[in-house]
Structure 1
Amino acid sequence: MELRVRDHVPATTAILTLVSLGLVFGAALGAIPDVLLPTAPQPLYDAIPHVNAVISTVAIGTIIAGVRAIRRGDVDRHRTLMLTTVVLFATFLVLYLYKVISQGTQEFPGPAVVDQWVYLPTLAIHILLAIVCIPLLYYVLLLALTRPVSQIYGTRHKQIGRVAAALWLISFVLGNVVYLLLYVVY
């Protein structure tokens, strides 16, 4: 019997989500040993947050452009822009996890009042939205990749995609706010 992703999008979404979140939480909690990764020179580690800020900014632009394209009925441009955003997100995540596994998380260097009332709430919302986005993104991506365009309109791609794009956009924006607080303001 042939098992096709097309026929099992929710189950495939769940599996991919669990694997992805397992990797993210494993890295953040120090469960993935750094000896599994090659060591990089310190300037490379130092550059990762700045590169990721650029990636996030470009991703914000591709999400907005992708939403505008589909509103104009330009499905091909929408698909290209959203797939570009997925590649940007994957690149961001690989770089982020590499840095976290290799060097741990970055401590907030600013005053405690800003840490408690601005930085931590912003970081928490950013992380929560990123976690919520993962299954939504897998779901709409799998729907889009396993069906011809004419069949996508008969799925929940549009409804879930709207929510995913909005939350993804907010998460990227808040990620840039976190970056500014960690590396620019303080």
Structure 2
Amino acid sequence: MHQQIKQNVPAVTGVLTLLSLGFVFGAALQIIPSTVFPHVSGLIAVIPHLNAGISLTAIALISAGWYFIRNDAVEKHQYAMVTSFGLFVAFLGLYLYRVTLEGPSPFLGPDVIKTYVYLPLLAIHILLAIVCIPLLYYVLLLALTRPVSELYATNHRRVARIAAPLWLISFFLGVVVYGLLHVVY
């Protein structure tokens, strides 16, 4: 299996991307029935706060991973980036659970803030998250299927230079969206 994935990283990336985006859009558009998940009392209310904490932790780890690789600390880089990906999966799982059961959170602030601040920030956050998904799968699959010595001969570094800053910006904007939805308004 490992060898098949190694030889087909672009195809596996495409399949994982389609599955992930299918779940995200299925939940956001409320195509996935809410009866699929059990309703855990009290969990729904804390998910936005948990996800904000997860996002801030991921921002710190992605930044650390970037620092580590620039200083040739490959093992620390690997740990930081795989852990941040795990946090992303946790974030997404919690988000999908909440959205499937309750739908997207309404913005309760003034219409002018909604139109000129909230919706543009949300749109950029969502767009970057969508763009990041295949980039993250691709660099992660390359990293997980090759020894470090082989990784330098792949597109891992080139794609990661695009993926990491976009991922950071997406997480940061997600925290800003959280602040607008759950703190400010």
> What TM bracket, shorter-length normalisation?
over 0.9
| Maintained 8 Å contact 2:3/2:145 | no
**What is the distance in 1 between the residues matched to 2:4 and 2:144?**
12
> RMSD value over aligned CA atoms?
1.2
**What is the distance in 1 between the residues matched to 2:158 and 2:73?**
17
Query: Secondary structure of the equivalent of 1:25?
Result: helix
Q: CA deviation at 1:93?
A: 0.3
> Residue 53 of structure 2 aligns with which residue?
54
Q: CA deviation at 1:164?
A: 0.4
> Residue 73 of structure 2 aligns with which residue?
74
Is 2:145 the counterpart of 1:146?
yes
Aligned residues: 185
TM-score, L = length of structure 2: 0.98
Q: CA deviation at 1:65?
A: 0.1
**What is the distance in 2 between the residues matched to 1:87 and 1:139?**
15
> Residue 5 of structure 1 aligns with which residue?
5
Is 2:105 the counterpart of 1:128?
no
Taking every aligned residue pair, what percent have the same amino acid on both sides? 58
> Residue 117 of structure 1 aligns with which residue?
116
**What is the distance in 1 between the residues matched to 2:39 and 2:55?**
25
TM-score, L = length of structure 1: 0.98
Dislocated runs of 4+, deviation >6 Å: none
**What is the distance in 2 between the residues matched to 1:68 and 1:33?**
42
**Unpaired stretches in structure 2, ≥5 consecutive residues:** none
> Residue 104 of structure 2 aligns with which residue?
105
1:12-70: CA deviation from partner (whole Å, max 9, x where unpaired): 100100000000000000000010100111x2111000000000000000000000000
Is 2:36 the counterpart of 1:36?
yes
1:46-99: CA deviation from partner (whole Å, max 9, x where unpaired): 100000000000000000000000000010000000000000000000000000
**Unpaired stretches in structure 1, ≥5 consecutive residues:** none
Worse-matched range after superposition: 76-85 or 2-11: 2-11
> Residue 84 of structure 1 aligns with which residue?
83
> Residue 171 of structure 1 aligns with which residue?
170
